[in-house]
Amino acid sequence: MERPKYRGYLKLLILHLLEEKPLHGYGIMAELEKRYEIPSPSAGAIYPLLANLKKNKLIEVVETEKREKKLYRITEKGRSYLQEHQNELKEALEKVDRFKEFSRLGGRKLFKTIREIMEVLPSLSESQKAEISEEIENFTKRIKLILLGGE
């Protein structure tokens, strides 16, 4: 299930990038990953958003190169949209900064491990599930203590 604001944030971040300079779809994905550390933004998420932004005249295609690579740029309507939604853009950028910090603390490893657990869960024995459950319980208790300022 998609987080409710994720697409909206992504839309604003794309417009924010295009405000600086025109980019190809792949360039947008690369910048989202490099600058905002959004892990592997997929073409399946980005290109429909680009189509929607173009349909709503917030961006336009300025040239098409070989292999149908399109160069996108923000329109005046897109700039106005960004200006009107500057509070949401600020919120998106703040969330990106928090996510980057969380990643530096080991968040990506945590997400990867959770994904791995979900994939193998049906094949785990009851004792393995019990061990994982105990580890999660201990981990969450320790994190909560840290957040409360305890040891």
Tens digit of each residue's pLDDT (9 = 90 or more) over 26-39 = 999 999 999 988 87
Structure tokens, 47: 């290109």
Whole-angstrom Cα distance, residue 145 to residue 143?
5
**Mean pLDDT, the chain, whole residue set:** 91
| pLDDT given for residue 3 in this prediction | 46
Instruction: Please name the amino acid found at residue 84.
Output: E
